[in-house]
Amino acid sequence: MNEIRRPLKYSIIAGCFLFVLSLCLVLNVSVYMNYRNSLFERHQAYVRDLLHFVASNLDIEDLKKCLATGQKSERFRQTQAFLDNIKDHYEINYVYVIIPVNTSDRDNIRNVIAGMSSYEKKYQPDMEVQLGGLTGTDYTAEIAALYYNAMNNKGEITYFEDDLDRFGWAYTGVLPLVDSRGEFFAELCVDVSSTKIHDDLRRQTIINMAVIVGLGVLFTLLFVLWVNSHVIEPIAALGRGMSEFAEKSHGQRDISQLAIRAPEIHSGNEIEALCHNVVKMADDIRTYVSEILETESALESAQNEVVRMNQLANKDALTGIRNKMAYDEELKKLTWEMESGQDRFGLAIVDLNFLKRINDTFGHDKGNVAIRKLCYIICHVFAHSPVFRIGGDEFAIILKGSDYENVDALIAEYYEQEAKMARDETLEYWEKISAAIGYSLFDRMLDSSVESVFKRADAAMYEKKRQMKAVRM
């Protein structure tokens, strides 16, 4: 029997190793890119919403006048307090207004105004920016060029990332501000830390690699065991039988000795019956390949489903605020914060009264007007809390920060506006909206979950409805 120079078993192991290595690289790169894009899309949405919110509260003309005169007006001081409040209550590094001057290495940015946290005002007062002051060497020429180029994107937000911030990696959003004549004045900027994104990406990459390599090794082991049992050993047994037959046949004149001894093959595949099972062998191979293709197809379908879910809108079409899907995601975050000991939050439930009566009497378009008007008022009153539309006539407010502290006053403010509308004879019936508000603040003695807080807020809302004699039938 000829010596085997390249055993089939070792060739299969080498092939499996190369296949698993290639699969690890492809899958890990794909998962990394999808996960990275998902994380940065959430950061971008957070920065975009915050920029638009801050921009809507800025008095551009006043800032422009203060910069020209070098004097801080009362409105400027109010804007400073507003930005300080933003710095205190939002997860950001900086919020500031600047004017790019040039792209040189020094004095390339002019300061207008910047928010300071309570901690900074108490312990780092020297961080306060000077109105109209230049930044010296605070910004490199490369970073200054990014701000400078963003001036040309009027009405559009420019995003970029750098690792020069003392907090680590920083993700910056830049929104050009224009005056009443439509001319560029300055840039509103928000910096948020993206260090956690990079940490999460590194951790997720390690986990993905470990899982993929583990599955690859398991696949290789099982595959090699299967091939050894069903292919290599039967072929080796058949080879030994053929070798014995050849040795006995040399110079043999006894016809009864010219017979091959059937080897002990119990593989149950095509080799056992040789020629008669060739078709069966082909069927087995086709079945095996089909299983691989089905697995690849299932993986592709799962990846497509992930992409599709990431593309689902989380905004309510009628009001423009976030919808039930976004609300559910926010509750998951609240649950995590609650379990981490961050328990200063509450939920308020707002339910529009008499929507069915408006729809039946005046039409659904008037009912939509009432829904949008209610949404506008509660978003204005609870300006520091996220508002969600979770049902046809129902809204939810996650109370945090100053809204958490002043919830009773804010609810009173809402009902005061509702009373004014009721007395306004110029308004149509559907414009004189009426709603019931119920709220509850998280209490560790009463609540074991966010759902418990919601149920107490919902019960309070229905109690308010009964008091207003507006319970839905």
Print the SS3 string covering the chain.
CCCCCCCHHHHHHHHHHHHHHHHHHHHHHHHHHHHHHHHHHHHHHHHHHHHHHHHCCCCHHHHHHHHHHCCCCHHHHHHHHHHHHHHHHCCCCEEEEEEECCCCCCCCEEEEEECCCHHHHHHCHHHCCCCCCECCCCCCHHHHHHHHHHCCCCCCCEEEEEEEECCEEEEEEEEEEECCCCCEEEEEEEEEECHHHHHHHHHHHHHHHHHHHHHHHHHHHHHHHHHHHHHHHHHHHHHHHHHHHHHHHCCCCCHHHCCCCCCCCCCCCHHHHHHHHHHHHHHHHHHHHHHHHHHHHHHHHHHHHHHHHHHCCCECCCCCCECHHHHHHHHHHHHHHHHCCCCCCEEEEEEECCHHHHHHHHCHHHHHHHHHHHHHHHHHHCCCCCEEECCCCEEEEEECHHHHHCHHHHHHHHHHHHHHHHHCCCCCHHHCCCEEEEEEECCCCCCCCHHHHHHHHHHHHHHHHHHHCCCCC
pLDDT on residue 345: 92
Cα–Cα dist 24/39, whole Å: 22
* 472 close to 434: Cβ distance less than 8 angstroms: no
Cα–Cα dist 364/355, whole Å: 9
| Model pTM above 0.85 | no
* 352 close to 393: Cβ distance less than 8 angstroms: yes
pLDDT on residue 88: 92
> Which tokens sit at 117?
């946290």
Q: How far is CA 117 from the centre of its chain?
A: 27
Superfamily of domain 57-193: PAS domain (3.30.450.20)
Written out in words, the top-level CATH class of the domain with range 324-468 is: alpha beta
* 391 phi, psi to nearest 5 deg: -160, 180
Cα–Cα dist 265/230, whole Å: 10
Tens place of pLDDT per residue across the chain (473 aa): 556 666 766 777 777 778 777 877 787 777 777 877 777 788 889 999 999 999 999 999 999 999 999 999 999 999 999 999 999 999 888 999 999 999 999 999 999 999 999 998 999 888 888 999 999 988 899 999 999 999 988 879 999 988 754 557 888 999 999 998 989 999 999 998 878 777 777 787 788 778 877 887 787 788 777 777 767 777 776 666 677 666 666 665 566 555 666 666 665 666 666 534 433 433 343 344 345 435 655 777 767 665 455 445 689 989 999 999 999 999 999 999 888 888 889 999 999 999 999 999 999 999 999 999 999 999 999 999 999 999 999 999 999 999 999 999 999 999 999 999 989 889 999 999 999 999 999 998 898 899 999 999 999 999 999 988 754 43
Cα–Cα dist 424/257, whole Å: 117
pLDDT on residue 279: 33
